Amino acid sequence: MEFSQLKRLVESFGKLRVAVVGDIILDKYVFGKVERISPEAPVPILEVEREEYRAGGAANVALNLKAIGVGEVALLGRIGADSEGERLKQILSEKGIASYLIETEEVPTTLKTRLIGRAQQLLRVDRESKKLLEEGESKRIIALLEEFKPNAVILSDYAKGVVNPTLVEGLRKLNIPVFVDPRPKNTLLYKGFTCVTPNLKEFEEMKTLLGIKENNFEGDTQKLKEKLNLQRLVVTLSERGIALVEPSGVKYFPATAKEVYDVTGAGDTVVATLCAGVSAGGDWESACKLANITAGIVVGKLGTAVPTLEEIFSHLKQGL
């Protein structure tokens, strides 16, 4: 496809309404310098210089959708009734994302704190609860989805308790396309959805869970796609790009990243771009080409990040 055609596809994202449902995370980055080792234990001492907060998990998928030009984006999930939840709501509001969030005293907002010294991650500290959403909460999310009337839904599963059988059954009844960024433990919940986008490690775990024992990538991807009754399966292959599993076979799209700096959130970018590309009327190959470009952009940035339209168009011009 020529540059002008892919450019027109991206420009058509503005007509879309896409909802993201899933586990919402607040990412905290503590930046500093390391110049000595602690006398108390053989660990580096980080002298803090600044702190930064970013929306992660399902919230980062929503930010990616907005960044690539999707017209209306809604985020549905759970946060705690705490300062971290308030910070997330502020980030979402500033980016123009509609949030339909269940706030609870019982479960804290998931917080991932990364300590960074000289652009290198030293440690990550997680605060989270994996308590499943209650049935009434799941049904509330489905009701809110019906009000929003999206063209498509992205299910962003980080296995923190939002994705559960009640929620999934409600999604199926909506009869709209559902794209899934998966966690292997919930593999069986994804049956019948439009597309699932595991990375290679997740694919191997999902394959094992489904009892697929052969060691042939193309044959195994077809079997997994068939067992889950998916329209498409897209496997991200890190530095090797993306594999699109179609009924006719597997097609490969080489990675476009010039330099891999940080892979955090790259899966969020892939599923967001695939969903937007297909929902806007593009074919699966075009959507995969765009997903490769956007993923290549974000892995060149530190931490949870999003591409910009300017970066996308620049990459399109260079590559086509």
pLDDT tier, 317 (very low <50, low <70, confident <90, very high otherwise): confident
Distance CA 82, CA 165 (A): 27
Q: Are 291 and 274 in contact (CB under 8 A)?
A: yes
Backbone φ and ψ of 19, nearest 5°: -110, 140
Opening angle at CA 274, ends 301 and 2, nearest 5 = 90
Collapsed DSSP state (helix, strand, coil) of residue 252: strand
268 counts as catalytic: yes
Q: How far is CA 107 from CA 132, 133, 205, 220, in A?
A: 10, 10, 28, 38
Domain that residue 168 falls in: 3-319
Least Cα distance to 57 among 4, 12, 109, 16 occurs for: 109
pLDDT value at position 250? 96
**For residues 295-313, average pLDDT:** 82
Catalytic, out of 27, 181, 220, 268: 268
> Is the per-residue pLDDT at 319 higher than 70?
no
Those residues with Cβ within 8 angstroms of residue 24's Cβ, 6 or more apart along the chain or in another chain: 55, 56, 57, 58, 59, 75, 77, 78, 79, 88, 101, 109, 110, 162
**Is residue 9 within 8 Å of 285, Cβ to Cβ?**
no
Mean pLDDT across the chain = 92
Lowest-confidence pick of 3-7, 18-22, 173-177? 3-7
**Domain with 31 in it: what CATH number?**
3.40.1190.20
Positive or negative, the Cα torsion across 30, 116, 59, 80?
Answer: negative
For 61, 271, 272, the CA distances from 65, given in Å and listed in that order, are 6, 9, 6
Question: From CA 108, how far away is CA 122, in angstroms rounded?
Answer: 24
Answer yes or no: is pLDDT of 310 > 60. yes
Q: Which residue has the higher pLDDT, 29 or 119?
A: 29
Tally of structural domains, the chain: 1
135-161 tens-digit pLDDT: 999 999 999 999 999 999 999 999 999
Count how many Cα atoms sit within 13 Å of the Cα of residue 216 in the half-sphere of its side chain: 6
Query: For position 214, what pLDDT does the model report?
Result: 80
User: Does the structure show a pLDDT above 90 at 300?
Assistant: no
pLDDT tier for residue 315 given thresholds of 50, 70 and 90: confident
Q: Any idea what DSSP says for residue 60?
A: H
284-298 helix and 266-279 helix, angle to the nearest 10 degrees: 150
φ/ψ of residue 45, rounded to 5: -100, 120
Question: What would the two tokens of residue 74 be?
Answer: 């809604």
- pLDDT score recorded for residue 262: 47
pLDDT for the residue numbered 261: 47
pLDDT tier at 299 (50, 70, 90 boundaries)?
confident
User: What integer pLDDT is reported at residue 118 of this predicted model?
Assistant: 85
